[in-house]
Structures are given as C-alpha cells and as structure tokens.
Structure 1
Amino acid sequence: MRDFFSGSVARCPGLLLAASLGTVADAKAWLDDDANKVDVLLTDLGLPDGSGLDVIRHAIRLHPRCEPLVISMFGDEDNVLASIEAGALGYIHKDSTPDDIAQTILAMRAGESPISPMIARRVLSKYRSDQFNKQNMAVAPVKKAEQAIKKIALDGAGDGAQHGLLSPRELDVLGLIARGFSYGEIARLQEISVHTVQTHIKNLYGKLSVHSKSEAVFEATRMGLLSRHD
C-alpha cells in the first residue's frame, strides 16, 4: 500500500515525494532532521511500533503548516475524531482509497478536507446522536437558557438564503453538489467554466466556515439553505 501511494505521488508533476517510511520511529527520526521539510503527511494509524497519531503530532510540532491526511482501515468515530484533534485535515478509509492519491493531496492543498463518505456518515450520525442525547438530558436553568438561545439562533439561520448568506449562483452550485454532480457536470449545467465553479465553492466554503463538500452540504442543510432553495 505504501509503495502504491509513493508511486502515485512520484508520478505527479505537481508533487515531490520527500520520503516513504514504515514506522513511527523512522518517521520521527526523519522529521527531526532539520534538512527535511514536509508540506503534506500521508499516514496510516496502525503502524508496527505505534500510532500514526504520534507522527501527526510530531510533524505538526516541527512543521506547523504541515497538512496531515490519514488513510486507515480504522473507520470508527473515536479514531476519526482523535485524528482530527491531533491535526488531520482529511481521513480516507482504505476500502475507498482513490485510484490516484496524488489528486486527493492536490485537492487538500487547494483547501478541501477529503473524507470518505462512509466515515463522514458515521461521524455525522454520532454528532446527531450526541445532540439528541444532550437535548434530552436534565440541565440546569442556565444551561436551558443557553440551549434556548442556541435554538433561536438556529431557527433564524433558516432565513440565511433570504438574507443573502449565499448568492443565488452559490446556492445553485451547492444544490448540484448535494445531488452528487462533479465540477465538470456543474460547469456544463450552469454554462460556466470549471474555474468559476471552483471559485463559487471556495466562496461558499468561507461563508459556511467549512472545508469540504460533505461539510458544506451538512451545514447548509442544518441552516435551512438547501431546503429553502429546493
């Protein structure tokens, strides 16, 4: 698997393979060398001598701008959330590994946070479950007031489309993303260039404070933007 990823990166004109290592110890030793610089760290979690989380933390400590991407067989919520807390910007399950990981890395460098649909669904399900449990717990009066304020804020967020949070074209693009269309297909349907589609997506990411298509769809749905638009 490591050779497969290394080959994909090495063949990509836009990327330079800095190193290919098999253990936590080797990775830390390589990172400790001041002559070695890294922009992207691609790591598994289950390594022979420890966890890839340790490599992520070590890399970020030495290279704060490093962008870690996890590819692992572990798809449970705990490992995903632990990876995000450690600093990972993307999480791909090995069962849904892309044919060309180099393109995923380039997309991440362009601002996306790649995550396998299966994992995104699990994390969102856990989030919804946690929210449901919180709403049904007995809370102190102050906590109840905080929840009431939050509910008012969320109810009001449904009017975001009317208040111009997203432009009509951004809503069109987001609606097509939610339906599974690719950038190229959206460009043809909207009669605009792929570059313009990417610009709209970048702008709506910023407005929604998200970093991936799945996050954008989830957040827009939560705010009532997609339902109103549809």
Structure 2
Amino acid sequence: MQEPVADGPITVLVVEDDALTRRTLSLAIEKEPSLKLLDALSDVKSALSWLEQQTVELLLVDLGLPDGSGIDIIRYCAHRYPACNIMVITTSSDQDNVLDSIEAGASGYVLKDADRLDIVRALLDLHAGGSPISPTIARKVLGRVRDGKKAPDAVNDAAAAEQVALTKRESTILDLIARGDSYGEVARQLSLSVGTIQTHIKNIYDKLSVHSRGEAVYEANRRGLLQMDQLKSKR
C-alpha cells in the first residue's frame, strides 16, 4: 500500500445502503493509513446534505440506493467539487448504468464482488490519476465504444468532432488516459513531467467542457475523437 501523503491521508466518503457492505468497506478504508474515512452514509438524501456542507477527495458510491440513484450523488459531487475523484461500487454491470455513471462524473467502476483490498487499491489508484474498472465492465464499455458509431449519430458526432481542435499531444494523452493509464504512466511514456500532463489534461477538459477523466473519455468517444485501433495497438 502507499504511504500517507505529506499533507495527510486522502479523505473518503462512502455511500452504500447495505449495512454489512458499508461496514466492510469502512473497516478496509480505516485500516489503510493513506486513507481517512470521513463518513459512511446509506442514502441519497443524507449524501447530498453531507456534500452541501463538506468536501472530500474520494467518493465511493453505490447506484441502487433506497431513495434514488447514486448517479444523482455523482452528478452533484462532480459539479460542486470537480477535484473529487468518484468511484462506483455496485452489483450492476448494465452498460447504461456504466455509461450514465461515467457521463455524470465517475472515473472508476468496481463490482461488489471485488476483494475489499482490491477496492482499497482501486481507491488509491483513482486518487493517483488512474481509472480503475472491473474487467467485466471494461469489456462491456469497450464493446459499446466499438459498436457505438451508429449511423443516426455519425453526422452529429462528425460535426461535434470538427468543433473540438485537439493538438497532436492532447490527442495522444487522451488516447492513453482512455486506455486507463495513470498520469504518472502517461508522463513516463511521453518523457514529460506529471505537472505538464496535468496541464494538458486541463486543456482537454476545457475543450470538451467536462470535469473528470470519465467524462472526457465518454465525450471524446461520443465525438469520434478516440481511435480504438490505436488504443488496441498500445496494449
């Protein structure tokens, strides 16, 4: 596991309605010195109320909550706290749920059958700039991306792509983060500093009018800016 950062552990908010799962996640987070659990909540209402008053660095949220969808929490948190990294933990591998979560602002998507230590590692990876996603979900998303260029949307996507002018460097970085590489990995591959990569990422976000890695990948795919053949060749 990673050592705590110099300015203190990474703060985490958990939103999960199942009491046993919530307790298991809380204990795993509390045992990791790099993380600090701020609260563990069980519904949309309490989560939105909490986020109105406090900020957090990592949000771990279920989708199926008793009073609504976790996507509402994701959307609110991403809008209010753009720097917060959001990860979904759920039993659902439905493509629509996955893509709706990404569009709302989530950058990670892990199924509940993952080991609790794997979930802690995923949280640390997310904070470090990664995009942790369960293999089952990754296959579904990649399949949707490959099949997503449907005829009815082709004209609109082509027009949207023309309105976004990414530099060659930005396009390369976008492809790498879409593949799931962390900022550190991208920096090493391109022989650049992490700070320079973050500057490019900010420019990409501005051009695509998004606030998170997940949104950037989703929007870039919608606009036809991702080249799946190039992504596969880099694996």
Q: TM-score w.r.t. structure 1 length?
A: 0.61
Measured on the aligned residues, the alpha-carbon RMSD in Å equals 3.9
Q: What secondary structure does 2:109 align onto?
A: strand
Q: Mapping of 1:27-106 within 5 angstroms?
A: 27-33=47-53, 36-106=54-124
Which one-letter code corresponds to 1:222 in the other structure?
D
**What is the rounded CA distance, in whole Å, between the counterparts of 1:224 and 1:92 in structure 2?**
22
Equivalent position SS for 1:96: coil
TM-score, normalization: structure 2?
Answer: 0.60
CA deviation after TM superposition for structure 1 residue 90, in Å: 0.5
Measured in 1, the distance between the counterparts of 2:138 and 2:145 equals 10
Is residue 2:222 matched to residue 1:222?
no
Amino acid at match of 1:31: L
Matches of 2:147 and 2:27 in 1, distance apart? 40
Residue equivalent to 1:8: 28
Per-residue CA distance 1:168-224 (angstroms, 9 max, x = gap): xxxxxx9xxx9xxxxxxxxxxxxxxxxxx9954544486999x69xx9xxx786127
> What SS does structure 2 have at the residue aligned with 1:91?
strand
Cα drift, residue 28 of structure 1 = 1.3
Cα shift at 1:100: 4.0
Residue 15 of structure 1, CA deviation: 1.0
Identity %: 36
- In structure 2, C-alpha distance between the alignment counterparts of 1:115 and 1:200, rounded to whole Å: 17
Q: What is the rounded CA distance, in whole Å, between the counterparts of 1:78 and 1:27 in structure 2?
A: 23
- The corresponding residue for 1:123 is 141
Bigger radius of gyration among the two: 1
> CA offsets, 1:82-138, max 9 Å, x none?
00111001111223355342221111111100011111101111221223x43xx79
Q: What are structure 1's unaligned runs of at least 5 residues? A: 151-156, 158-164, 167-173, 179-196
Structure 2: which 5+ runs fail to align?
1-20, 163-167, 191-196, 205-212, 218-225
More strand by share: 2
Q: Between Structure 1 and Structure 2, how many residues are aligned?
A: 173
